[in-house]
Structure 1
Amino acid sequence: MSGPGRALHVADLDALDGTPVLDIKPYLREFAPQDEVWQAPWATNLMHQYY
C-alpha cells in the first residue's frame, strides 16, 4: 500500500509505469559475479542499440 511518506523516486529504472515494486535491494559489488560474465552474441546484438 502506498501512503504519505512512502514514495520512491528512481532514475533509469527499466520497468513499466505502474508496475508494483516488490523488493528493493542495493547493488553490492561483493554479490556480483567474481568471474568474467559470458553473454550469448545474440543478446549483445539485441541490446546494442538499447540505450
Structure 2
Amino acid sequence: MATDAQIAASESMGTALDQIAPPTNDVVQDFPAALDWRIVTCFVIVAAVLLYMS
C-alpha cells in the first residue's frame, strides 16, 4: 500500500515533469503512469488471495 507521502511525492514529480515538458495529450500520457502501480498491486493481492483459498 502506498502511503500519503509516496502518493504526494509521485504527484509532485508528475507536476514537475509537466512543467519541464508539457504533455501533448494528458489522457494518453497520464493514464498509464497514474494507474500502473494500482493495477499491479490489485493484481498481486487478487492472485495471493486465490492461491491462499485454493
Q: Looking at secondary structure, tell me which structure has more helix per residue.
A: 2
Q: Would you say same fold, with TM above 0.5?
A: no
Could you say which structure has the greater relative contact order, defined with CA pairs below 8 angstroms and 6 or more residues apart?
A: 2
Q: Which has the larger radius of gyration?
A: 1
Which bin holds the TM-score, normalised by the shorter protein? under 0.3
